[in-house]
Chains A and B, each alone.
Chain A
Amino acid sequence: MTVADLVLPTTKEKSLWQKSFSRLLRNKVAVVSGIFIILMILIALFAGKLTPYTFAEQDLMANNSIPQWMLFLLPEGAENYAHINNDYILSADHLGRDILTRTIYGARISLAIAFAASFVDLLVGITYGMISGYAGGRVDSLMMRVVDFLYAFPFLIVVILMQTYFKAIARRGGGEGFGSAIINLNNELGGMLFLFIAIGLVNWLGMARLARGQVLSYKRMEFVEAARAIGANDTRIMFKHLLPNILGPLIVSETLSIPTWIFLEAFLSFIGLGVNAPTPSWGIMISEGVQALRSYPNQILFPAIALSLTTLAFNFLGDGLRDAFDPRMIDK
């Protein structure tokens, strides 16, 4: 750095967020992953316009059919049973449904779960953690005791049990009042609503701990003191002054746990506790693909690739975000 630079700063000082963002843009893998995710979101949004078929449409003349170009995937002796049909470019499943269409709609379920679970996680976790950390004292230790207690629960099994319960309730359906309105909405969404609730309800604990820790490290700082001196009340201090400061690391940590939500949805769908048939989910398609693996290994391929690539992209993006927003990386 020369003397002239010190005397006359030529560029305006960039904000912390801008610096982090430009660091992120230099990470090529993260940028490619980000573009891939945006592409997946667009595909999920316009799922209905991309293929001439719907996800539930059955063409029983074409069940287990396979296009010419995929024939090499089939085992030996396949020419005796393979049914070639080039209308479905990624082949059709055992009910004659287009696999391309179902994979595309599967993106909708996976991403919806990923974002809804993240939203619930951030909302509940941050609110709980901030209140606990900001209140301090007895309230804090009581609220954290509750979190510690719940942490010891085997949460996966809790989700399985809750989904079992929700699905049984939803099967019954009908009735009147608030409960049945929820059930009808859930059935309308192909069973997604209860999935959101079950996944979101049990997964805010880690976020609450993180938010609390962040609040504890910031609440004694001068800017909080200054805000209080000019008469800001607790709510204002918490949401106007503390929240913007602690949000960065929390969002980065949430991005890193998105693959977990996607896996969880796929897992629940795989064991039959996910969305309702015929709504496609990659987990259901993989489970159906496993059944057909011996004769038609082509059917499992595309949902499997879609699921793996999406989680790969979220992992790379999350790693990139963490590196870019890590305070220890600043000015390097």
Chain B
Amino acid sequence: MARYIIRRILQFIPVLIAVALFTFVLMRAIPGGPFDFAGDRSLPPTIVANLEAKYHLDWPMWKQFLSYLIGDDILGEEGGSLGVIRGDFGPSLHFRGQQVSDIIKTTLPISAQLGFMSVLLAVLIGIPLGIIAALNQNSWLDYTSTFGAVFFLSVPNMVLAPILIWIFALILGWFPVAGWGAKPPYLLGFLPQLDQLNIEYFKNAAMPVFALGTGSAAIIARLTRASLLQVMGEDYIRTARAKGLTERVVIIVHALKNSLIPVVTILGPLFAALVTGTFIVEQIFGINGMGKHFITSVGNRDYQVITGVTLIYAFLLVIANLLVDITYAWLDPRIRYD
């Protein structure tokens, strides 16, 4: 197992380098630079040249990339870049004077809190709903929850979020329209401070978490239902019943664990869908998370922020996939990695 994990981690390195290279080259191939305009006025060419020299944009591409990746001192060049490998993603080109790593440090925790609560909601709603539907197959409970799942699968969060705001914030006034309760510095780097963890925090979080989590809950519910139905038809379930075990023990001890294996495999793609969701949900609810910042940077052509945030996303997705594979092996002893 340990060897498998190490080998997988080694496989990720070329993927991450390829993502970095792809992003880096594409962003610099875009016509028009980040210093074309200051506000509405175009900058004089000498100032542009100076700025480009300051940010090393006049270097050949391969050298810029290496400087970005491993840092200037290893290259033997003048310049302050420590490189991505030491956690330095360079300065933001649009927000002058800000470091990309600082931007990530303040915005990623918010997205992480939002994402974590959404996953929690999805699992807490999805799995019980799937189990109820499967155990009452072809009853009204089954039909209702199956239909509900398809419905929430089909209503995208860009529709759900404004409708929630309209009904629960604008008409009923139960929840605030926008914003996020926690502010930096964060506990352990990503959790909200305990004194910020009040009713206001959860009121702020309720609608975005719901808008982001229901789609995933629907996917989990459908999968749990299908998989539990399949497991309940297996021979060993019949054996367990024949031994005289109660139905509760048969389901909880024998059926449930095996039926959750396919559910675990979907968590990787689900995580990716959640990332997309944060772009939209953070935009609509005015939450200052990494998704919103990424979209803003795409508009601003802030290469450094785009490349840095892309790398963080790629890293997180790769880690998520690894965790899924490990959980998979743990749940199903027939799978052995060597």
Contact = CB atoms under 8 A, between A and B. Distances in A.
A259 interface: yes
Interface string A253-296: 00000010001001100111100000000010011011001100
B158 A160 contact: no
Interface string A300-332: 100010011001100110010000000000000
A130 B134 CA distance: 36
A297 B280 contact: no
Given A149-B15, A153-B19, A315-B150, A161 B26 contact: yes
Interface residues of B, number: 47
A154 B162 contact: no
Contacts of A266: 156, 158
Interface string B29-42: 11110000000000
Contacts of B276: 156, 267
B155 A308 contact: yes
A69 interface: no
B32 A168 contact: yes
Contacts of B275: 154, 156
B165 A267 contact: no
B154 interface: yes
B154 A271 contact: no
Interface in B103-162: 150-151, 153-156, 158-159, 161-162
B154 A289 contact: no
A283 B165 CA distance: 18
B157 to A, nearest CB: 9
A274 to B, nearest CB: 12
Given A165-B30, A270-B158, A315-B153, A293 B166 contact: yes
Given A267-B276, A293-B162, A312 B295 contact: no
A75 B170 contact: yes
Contacts of A270: 158, 280, 283
B72 to A, nearest CB: 25
Interface stretch (B75-83, B92-100, B253-261, B314-322): B314-322
A287 B156 CA distance: 13
Nearest to B155: A308
A161 B159 contact: no
A266 B23 CA distance: 23
A169 interface: yes
Interface in A11-56: none
Nearest to B296: A271
Interface of A: 75, 149, 152-154, 156-158, 160-162, 164-165, 168-169, 172, 259, 263, 266-267, 270-273, 283, 286-287, 289-290, 293-294, 297, 300, 304, 307-308, 311-312, 315-316, 319
Interface of B: 12, 14-15, 18-19, 22-23, 26-27, 29-32, 150-151, 153-156, 158-159, 161-163, 165-166, 170-171, 177, 272, 275-276, 279-280, 283-284, 295, 298-299, 301, 306, 310, 313-314, 317-318, 321
Given A294-B170, A312-B151, A315-B150, 10 more contacts: A75-B171, A149-B14, A149-B15, A156-B275, A157-B23, A165-B27, A168-B30, A168-B301, A259-B153, A286-B158
6 contacts: A75-B170, A152-B12, A157-B313, A293-B166, A308-B159, A311-B156
